[in-house]
Structure 1
């Protein structure tokens, strides 16, 4: 019904425009009384009409494509934000505890409200050159506890992660899709192990590689997401700074007057 109403409305608009052109032609002919000359110019206009139509279509289509792309990216960033709220930030917090270069990592990734695009790019380059190495070693109770708790956590978030994969727009975001794939793989690896304690060294090394993959991809996506919040949603950026998983002194409570300005 809505399609028919829209089609009927388009016909009415087309009729009004055609009728307006006819009226204007009759009026001009009556004033200047040169019908042959008028028909000649109409013919000239008709010759170039396909080119004019092509130009208009290209301009309109370009505008529509840009608008659709912007809307799609906005929806993707909402999905990425939901991922970090439910899964990503918690994973970063727990995995970073086993980062052998945690001090250097924190120094690079403690973001403040004065950061500009250049600072984010600088952080990405520095973090890529840092070459993280996780201290996930066999026969270590803290490691075993971490793997077991991660197993329970990811099992609990399985339905949420599956719901993310149902979003068709994710195909346009290759790096985030790679991250989800890595998280799902880690989930499956841990899920298949009934016991994460007393794992042999070879198996622990394998899990270390899986966790390392997730950690590296998480940091990259987290930096991109923080940059997006900084440029578009300052109030969300303020909360993200106060819950920064790499800041050992983080607190969600705003203790100074200056900090409250980040909410604007």
Structure 2
């Protein structure tokens, strides 16, 4: 309410100031006709001024604001992969039957082009990832998810993620796997219906996480080459990974 009152007062003061200036102009120059002409000339130009301010300048400011929000989102994404995402990815990828084939497509190198990233994303979208499991794997994944639960909850509470639908969807799919695992006291491998349900959840989360990881690497390549170099050297899908730089 106070902001509205202040806004009204500012408009009122500026309007009165404008009237005062025009009145002074008439008194000093004794030319009401010229003053009236310039008033109408200013009014005629007003729609163009509004168009420039609201459309052109407004669009520019919105783009700038969106860029700033995306930067904040990318900071969140970076924190996710550093604190939880990579570990969860390691845990989920072990359930993939065709891991060897997938691993070949994810061996990101420093010389990758944008086209190569796009092709990898398309491959992952269309990939038929078969899931296999064991009690030990499910138990280990449950423990891992429990350890990352608080961090994932804090991420989901971040309002900036509303600007990044695919990342939010990925988080929700991972969070759902965590809830499914934690809701079970034991895993009944002989219960095919339940195991198939878990397999579908794991497959969904794994595919979404892999796609986001590739997009994350693409972003690092464009915006943060030094971080990209580091992530390539520690790429969990590379058999030759070595954090040390070799010539």
Please indicate the TM-score interval, normalised by the length of the shorter structure: 0.7 to 0.9
| Structure 1 residue aligned with 2:96 | 99
**CA 1:249–1:98 in 2, change beyond 3 Å: closer, same or farther?**
farther
The reply on whether 1:214 has 2:214 as its aligned counterpart is no
**Distance in 2 of aligned mates of 1:206 and 1:129:** 20
Task: Could you tell me which runs of 5 or more consecutive residues in structure 1 were left unpaired when the two chains were aligned.
Answer: 137-142, 258-264
Note the C-alpha offset of 1:134. Answer: 1.9
Q: State the shift of 1:115 in Å.
A: 1.6
> Normalising to structure 2: TM-score of the pair?
0.82
- 1:231 counterpart residue number: 222
Q: Offset of 1:38 from its aligned partner? A: 5.7
| Contact in 2 for aligned 1:92/1:245 (Cα 8 Å) | no
Whether 2:172 is the aligned partner of 1:175: answer: no
**Contact 2:117–2:218 (8 Å) recurs in 1:** yes
CA distance in 2, matches of 1:171, 1:159: 19
Question: Take 1:62 and 1:94, find their aligned partners in 2: how far apart are those partners?
Answer: 44
| 1:78 corresponds to | 75
1:131 aligns with 128
Q: 1:187 to 1:199 in 2, by over 3 A?
A: farther
Structure 1 contact 144–196 (Cα < 8 Å) conserved: yes
1:254: which partner in 2? 244
After TM superposition, list the pairs within 5 Å mapping 1:43-62 onto structure 2: 43-62=40-59
TM-score normalised by structure 1 residue count = 0.77
SS in 1 for 2:184: coil
Checking the alignment, whether the CA contact within 8 Å between 1:101 and 1:132 is kept in structure 2 is: yes
Match of 1:205 among 196, 204, 222: 196
Distance in 1, matches of 2:145 and 2:206, equals 14
Match of 1:116 among 103, 113, 117: 113
Matched with 1:152 is: 143
Cα distance in 1 between the residues matched to 2:58 and 2:129: 45
Distance in 2 (alpha carbons) for counterparts of 1:126 and 1:167: 30
* Structure-2 change in CA distance of 1:198 and 1:103 (3 Å): closer
Q: Which residue of 1 aligns with 2:85?
A: 88
Mapped partners of 1:167, 1:87: distance in 2: 16
Q: 1-side partners of 2:236 and 2:165: how far apart?
A: 24
Aligned length: 235
Deviations 1:96-132 (A, max 9, x none): 2332222221221111111222111111122333321
Matched, 1:243 2:240: no
SS of aligned partner of 1:100: coil
